[in-house]
Structures are given as structure tokens and as C-alpha cells.
Amino acid sequence: MATDTHSVFNWQIGREMAYPYEAPPPKKQVAWVFDINKCIACQTCTLACKTTWTAGKGQEYMWWNNVETKPWGFYPLGWDVRLLDKLGVGNWEKGVYKGKTIFEAAKAGERLVGVQPEEEDWAHPNIGEDEIAGGSVAAGDHITDVHRIWMFYLQRICNHCSYPGCVGACSRKSVYKRDEDGIVLIDQDRCRGYQECVRGCPYKKSMFHPRSRKSQKCISCYPAVGEGYQTQCVANCIGKIRVFGHINPPDKARDDNPIDYLVHKAKIALPLYPQFGTQPNVYYIPPVHVPRQFLFQMFGPGVPEAIKKYRTAPDDEKLRGLLVLFGSTDKIFTRFKVTSGEAIGYNDKGDEIVRVPITEPTYRRPFFDEERNVYRHSIT
């Protein structure tokens, strides 16, 4: 383990761990929940981010938001499997991770275990798209609860981690976490382009700009967030799979905070590779059809309970109502209520932001329209 470390509590791995810097919690922490089950890989989120932030020269291969097909898609190539290989298998016992995080596995004199992609590894963001695992379709195959042949889409942005690898890796302290909202940014004036953050981010969400020769990353759309709007990748999501807000630590979780409710109360949204140890703040509702062993490796031991609870949503008015609020507004709602068949979102001041029916009303039109003297094939 590296020297000069501090001990911090990481609730996602259920224990204290070593981290290169003191890391007092910010006043607030931005967070996202993505429902993997609803994503159609249209890449609208990817383009929304790209056209807003990374359309400049030298940013051609810079995708702060990407959607890759698992298990064969990677951006950059092999980003997760290369690190998993280095860390080895780590067991979980009763919700506590017994293996080593990227910080704890560091050799003497190093801050963390990292992987430095080659330039070519960034050049194929669509590699593995729609490729399936589990062989090919055979005669007589049918859909089972957990699919024999499977793939799913993984939506990826910077996790604005509580213990960021990029911050921990940077010897110049050019990468910092804002105290007001936990957003992780790179100071472009301080950065010298050493790429330690690129190597140190286990999710490979810090990227090198070959023209400015500095590193850049997702900025959590902070100008919009500051004005009360959800991030571009959330507001433009066609599948309405995303919601943005703020998360509290588990002991301060609120029943009426949408992110707290999904992560800490209903426990249906889980962090990506919690074993890396950065306490990431993008949470995923795991895909219900994927073999559990694969999901366990990716989202930790909470997977079976998360899927079980998610399946109760049709009969759980509060959970269903909250899921209906995903994608219902471009404004940030930090509180929610579900009542009398409606889901309502409020801002910090308690002002109503959005109100939607939990069940969409349907209208049945007559097969024969007398007024127009026509028959209809579609009547609902």
C-alpha cells in the first residue's frame, strides 16, 4: 500500500479504506440514477453532451458520455477488464468488501493502481455494439427469466466520485472536488498534461486533449446545474432512463429525496464497480435479464435484492411513481411525493416543479368515425 494515506469510510464497501488525501465530505453531492432496463442505445445523451461540450478540434475522440454494449463494448478498449485483472478477485462478506481497492493495492511509492490506455484504444467507441454473449440462437430457444443469450447497454459518464482516483493521482493538485456540490473538475491553468488522472481514473473518464495538451472531463454541466437544471445527458434522454439530483450519506438518507430513496431506501440503484473504492455517484438499476454472476462483479452484492424490489414496482405506488418522474422535466427536483395516482416533484424551496399521472390515460376511439366517414385501424 502507498505511504502517506488517510483513512476514510466508504459506505459502498462497508468499511474504512486508505485514500491519498484527506477527503472531507462536500456540503452536497451530485448524483445520478440510470435505469439500464429502459435504455435503447440511441446515443442521444452522447450527442447532447458532445455538441454542448466537446465539439472542438482535438476533442474528436473525447466522449464524456458514452453508451457501450456489455459484455463486449468498451470505451476506451478494455477499460474495466484490464483493471479487474490487476486487482484480482476480491470477496464480499455480508456486504463488506474483503479485497483491495485501487488505493490499497498500490505498490510502495505509488498512489494507486492505474491503467494507461494507448491512443488507439480511444478510437473505437462503438466496438462490440449489440454483440451478444452466450453463443448463438439455436432451434427451440425461448426467453427465460435470466436470458441464456444476452447483452445490455451501459451508460457511462464521470461518477463525480466521493474518493476520486483522478484527484488522488494528480501530483499537482489540478483536479479538485467542489465543496458546494461535490462536482469534480480539472483546473485547466494548473494542469500540465501529465495524464496521471487519465491513468488513475478507474472508469477512464478523464481524457487527454492532444491540442491543448491538458486533461479534460465531464463537468456535470455545472452552469446548468447551478441554475436548477438537470444535466444535458439527463434532460435529452429519449428513453427517460435517467434522473439527476443530490445524494446524502446512508445515515442521513431522506424518504422524500428521489436519489436517496432509490439508492438507500428501496436499494434498487447500485454503484458501478464499488470494489474500485472511489465511491462513485452514478447509480444503476441493474438489467433484470442478465446472468447474476456478471452483475455481481459489476454492481456488487446488492444485485439480487435490487432486482427483486424492482420487480415489485408495478404494485408499489411510491416506487412506480418515482420511476415515472424520470425524464418528466428538465428541472432538478430534490423532493418528491406520490399521492392519489400522481407523482409530484418539488425543488429545494418546496415549489412544485412537475406533476405526472402514474398511469397514462388511454382513449378509445370508435372503429367507425361517423363525422369523417372513415374506419380506423388504430383505436387506442
Q: Does 165 participate in binding ligand SF4 (rule CB under 6 A)?
A: yes
Q: Does 47 participate in binding ligand SF4 (rule CB under 6 A)?
A: no
**Nearest by Cα to 31 from 305, 249, 190, 303:** 249
Q: Residue 308 corresponds to which amino acid?
A: K
Q: Which of 33, 237, 269, 319 binds ligand SF4 (CB under 6 A)?
A: 237
Contact range with ligand SF4 by CB under 6 A, out of 76-84, 121-129, 134-142, 227-235: 227-235
E-strand ranges in 157-257 read 175-177, 184-186, 206-209, 214-217, 242-246
Q: How far is the CA of 220 from the CAs of 24, 139, 278, 305, in angstroms?
A: 20, 47, 17, 30
Q: Does 201 participate in binding ligand SF4 (rule CB under 6 A)?
A: yes
Q: Which of 28, 111, 214, 217 binds ligand SF4 (CB under 6 A)?
A: 217
Touching ligand SF4, residues 243-302 (CB under 6 A)? 278
Contact range with ligand SF4 by CB under 6 A, out of 34-42, 246-254, 283-291, 300-308: 34-42
Minimum distance from residue 160 beta carbon to ligand SF4 (Å): 5
Residue 45 or 77 with smaller CB distance to ligand SF4 = 45
The DSSP output letter for 173 is -
Minimum distance from residue 235 beta carbon to ligand SF4 (Å): 9
Q: Does 37 participate in binding ligand SF4 (rule CB under 6 A)?
A: no
Minimum distance from residue 105 beta carbon to ligand SF4 (Å): 15
In angstroms, the CA 119 to CA 197 distance is: 15
Q: How many CB atoms lie within 10 A of CB 360?
A: 7
Beta partners for 283? 33, 271
In angstroms, the CA 99 to CA 276 distance is: 10
Contact between residue 307 and residue 56 where contact means Cβ atoms under 8 Å apart = no
> Residue count at the site for ligand SF4 (CB under 6 A)?
41
Residues that bind ligand SF4 (CB under 6 A): 39-45, 48-49, 53, 64-65, 67, 155, 157-161, 164-166, 184, 201, 203, 205-206, 217-221, 231-233, 237-239, 241-242, 278
